[in-house]
Amino acid sequence: MTAEVLVQGLVSGLLMGFVYALIAAGLSLIFGLMEIVNFAHGEFLMGAMFATFWAWALLKLDPLVSLPLTVLLLALFGLLVYHGLIRWILGAPMLAQIFATFGLAIFLRAAAQALWGADFRLVKGPLVDGRISLAGIFIGLPQLVASVGALCAFGLLYWFIRKTETGLALQATSQDRQAAMLMGIDTQRMFALGWAIGAACVGAAGALLAMFFYIFPDVGATFALLAYVAVALGGFGNVPATLLAGVIVGIVEVLGGLLIAPALKYAVVFSLYLVVVLWRPQGLLGRF
Amino acid sequence: MRRAIGLLSLALSAVLATTSTSHAQAPKEVVIGAIYPLSGNLAQIGIDSITAMRMAVELFNGKSDLNLPGMKKTTEGLPGLGGAKIRLIVVDHQGKPDVGQAEAERLITQEKVTALIGAVFSSVSATTSQVAERYGVPHMNGESSSPTLTERGFKWFFRTSPHDGHFTLAMFEFLKDFEKKKGVKLKTVGLMHEDTLFGADSGKVQEELAKKYGYEVVVNMAYRAKTTSLDAEVGKLKAAAPDVFLPTSYTSDAVLYIKTAKTLEYVPRMLIAQNAGWVDPQFVAEMNKDIEGHITRSPFALDLQAKKPLIRQVNELFKKQKDNPGGRDISEAPTRALTAFTVLVDAINRAKSTSPEEIRKALVATNVPADQLLMPWTGVRFDEKGQNTGVRAILQQIQKGAYATIWPFDLAAADVIYPLPGFKDKK
């Protein structure tokens, strides 16, 4: 194993980690806000990827051009899911909430296959394609753009949550629902907003991912699993921590594969997760 | 009380009498259960296979002059069973061994199927065939290539297709032939395989045969199927730099491999794939130039239709099927399903009965000649393990965006491209 291969692995893992983090951000936000785990999160991602694909295939829009549209579409879809499903199960037992989002996941996956077939699709010849080479290290340009895009999205999200009044209201709702209500915050509106933003994040991730990953009804499942790990690793509901956790997952995945064995790379990721959860059940940067 | 018992026994004997007479008569329909992946990663392969089998059902139930096993006939239905019609029950196993097991159980106990066919994934065929074995129901298989499946000594499991022992043998025979013909020297091989039964078995047999044929295995790695990243795997390949790279992957991972290899600029001198992802028609169309020169093992080649008009006839029919949007050419997977299915129906017809034991006997006695096959095999004859002994593997290479047969050299339609050209649109 040469140093070059290791550095290459680190770079690839880092780039992929940013994308994992952005996928996990939406999940983390929703959980922090209302303590509901969205099991259909991977299918939201799949939806965003298909939206990007169809914008490219039918309207000849490049993934980067259609990205704002995809984000908007997913935000609307998030609202729809909140008002159509989640709102009705807020007070329900946890098991009912799990079944509701899990059922939604199965429905979305089956619907995608029924509508668009079971073929693997690819966005061919995107605006940003190919790769650059720096001192023998290859960096895929779509991956690079996706990482930068993910970081920008994180910046925006952070700014929105920490600096705007609505963002502060969102935080207040997440910290103490009752108190927020007493302060005159419309928590229902905040919940809906949380779903819209959460879905928008995964929309951005899907659009960026579609530049270099295959698109398929089942594609979300694998990413969702890593997103759950990132959320728990970083700390439930802590959005910046999710960024750190996503990057850790991305890097550990590649290094585990290179240094131990590819067959065990997810074992390494999940072992790390177990260790962290045992040592700090609240996650790396979780406060409570 | 006594009267009641008398009535009851009368009723019982009446029921018994009717069942025994109906048993003596030929059944009106033969129910066959098809267990295929209709959702999940291999859904399209499952859908195409079912399309091919539905087409065969229509031909069997009507009249046909196609020279497929048991199909050339002037009467409707199965002549051996007094014109009985076939009814196909299709179920989805989602690529999951446990779902396959439950569905096999349900098909046998609830739907009372005469025989089972399936299930593409070796891992799923392993569980469905266990159920069939327990209930004593014939289980036909046309796609699963894990050698283990026919090494378990099952009485009810039959496989028409070559397994990865045959296929891998072909790969190394080809390498030896190729080295001799071209005067090149290939010394090392690298293996990468997914971690279900299919990949694990393929990796095992490849490692054994590489040693036997005198090639050094410089890297041998299993990876998690349906992974989100193959960066580590391709990194290891780059570091080990084998002359010949032998991947075993289903479509999703095959796509990811090509994308990653392109980004990291990894090009082995030769790539021979263990089928699966590499023969998915959509994969070939989408990857196009990026897989120019890639070789795969295959039991079927569309370009052999010049030598076998039967392939063209079947392909024309397949393209017209309503479940085949866009009229795609028949590919490897549906051809394998069609072959297995026609061999099974032919055996049921020869058994002249839907009794499992009679069908099993007919399957054991199967002797389909080469001219009734779409495959370049010498025929279909099952050994005591249920494996077809008439199999023959061929190797094909992507040349100008389509597969061309390159080995055995006597069947070859094209010369071998060597070494791999690599990725064309470099930046």
Contact A9 B231 (CB under 8 A): yes
Asked whether the beta carbons of A153 and A201 are under 8 A apart, the reply is yes
pLDDT tens digits along B375-394:
989 999 999 999 999 998 89
Categorize the per-residue pLDDT at B6 as very low, low, confident or very high, splitting at 50, 70 and 90: low
Is A110 close to B256, i.e. CB distance below 8 A?
Answer: no
> How is residue B151 annotated by DSSP?
S
Cα–Cα dist A245/A243, whole Å: 5
Of A143, A216, A263, the CB nearest to B224: A263
User: Crossing angle for the helix pair A165-175 and A3-34, nearest 10 degrees?
Assistant: 80
Stated length of chain B: 427
Distance CA B156, CA B1 (A): 47
Is B239 in contact with A223 (Cβ distance < 8 A)? no
Which of the four CATH numbers 2.40.70, 1.10.3470, 3.30.450, 1.10.10 does domain A3-279 have? 1.10.3470
| Locus of tokens 């009467």 | B75
Write the pLDDT tens digit of every residue in B160-205: 999 999 999 999 999 999 999 999 999 999 999 999 999 999 999 9
Q: What is the DSSP letter of A214?
A: -
pLDDT digits (tens, 9 = 90+) for B84-139: 999 999 999 999 999 999 999 999 999 999 999 999 999 999 999 999 999 999 99
SS3 of residue A287 by DSSP: coil
Which residues 203-222 of A are in CB contact (within 8 Å) with B? 212-214, 216-219, 221-222
Residues of B within 8 A of A252 (CB-CB) are none
Tokens of B184: 């090149």
| Optimal mutation site among B191, B226, B228, interface A, most CBs of chain A within 10 A | B228
Nearest to A254 among B229, B263, B425 (CB): B229
Q: Considering CB atoms only, which of A117, A131, A223 is closest to B427?
A: A131
Q: Which residues of B touch A129 (CB under 8 A)?
A: 427
Give mean pLDDT, residues B63-69. Answer: 92
ipTM over 0.85: yes
Let me know if B91 is exposed, middle or buried by CB neighbors in 10 A (0-12, 13-18, 19+). Answer: buried
Which of B231, B252, B266, B427 is best to mutate for the A interface (most A CBs within 10 A)?
A: B231
Q: Tokens 């290791």 correspond to what residue?
A: A6
- Give B426's contacts in chain A (Cβ within 8 Å): 130
pLDDT, one tens digit per residue, over A233-274 is: 988 778 889 999 999 999 999 999 999 888 899 999 999 989
Separation CA B4–CA A285 (nearest Å): 78
Among B228, B238, B263, the residue with its CB nearest the CB of A222 is: B228
Burial string for B106-124 (b: 16+ CB within 10 Å, else e) reads: ebbeeeebbbbbbbbbbbb
Q: For the stretch A203-228, what's the b/e string if a residue is b when 16 or more beta carbons lie within 10 angstroms of its beta carbon?
A: bbbbbbbbbbbbbbbbbbbbbbbbbb
pLDDT tens digit string along B287-341?
888 999 999 998 888 888 878 899 999 999 999 998 887 888 998 899 999 999 9
Across chain A, which has 288 residues, the per-10-residue mean pLDDT values are 86 94 92 89 96 95 95 97 93 91 95 91 88 88 94 93 91 89 91 95 96 92 91 85 93 92 90 89 75
3-state secondary structure at position B78 = strand
Query: If DSSP codes are grouped into helix, strand and coil, which group holds residue B224?
Result: coil
CB interface of A with B, residues 129-188, below 8 Å: 129-133, 138-141, 143
Beta partners for residue B387, in sequence order: B159
Distance of CA B310 to the CA centre of its chain: 19
b/e burial code for range B228-259 (CB count within 10 A of at least 16 → b):
bbbbbbbbbbbbbebbbbbbbbbbbbbbbbbb
Write the residue in A113, A119, A266 that is nearest to B282 by C-beta: A119
Q: Is the pLDDT of residue B13 over 70?
A: no
pLDDT for the residue numbered B4: 54
Report percent pLDDT > 90 for chain B: 76
Q: Which two tokens stand for residue A42?
A: 């991977």
Alpha-carbon distances of A266 from A38, B108, B169, B186, rounded to whole Å: 22, 38, 32, 34
Q: Which of B198, B252, B203, B193 is nearest to B42 (CA)?
A: B252
A-chain residues near B221 (CB < 8 A): 261-263
User: What pTM does this model have?
Assistant: 0.84
Among A193, A222, A174, A285, smallest CA distance to A23 is for A222
Instruction: From chain A, pick out residues whose CB is under 8 angstroms from the CB of B252.
Output: 120, 214, 216, 219
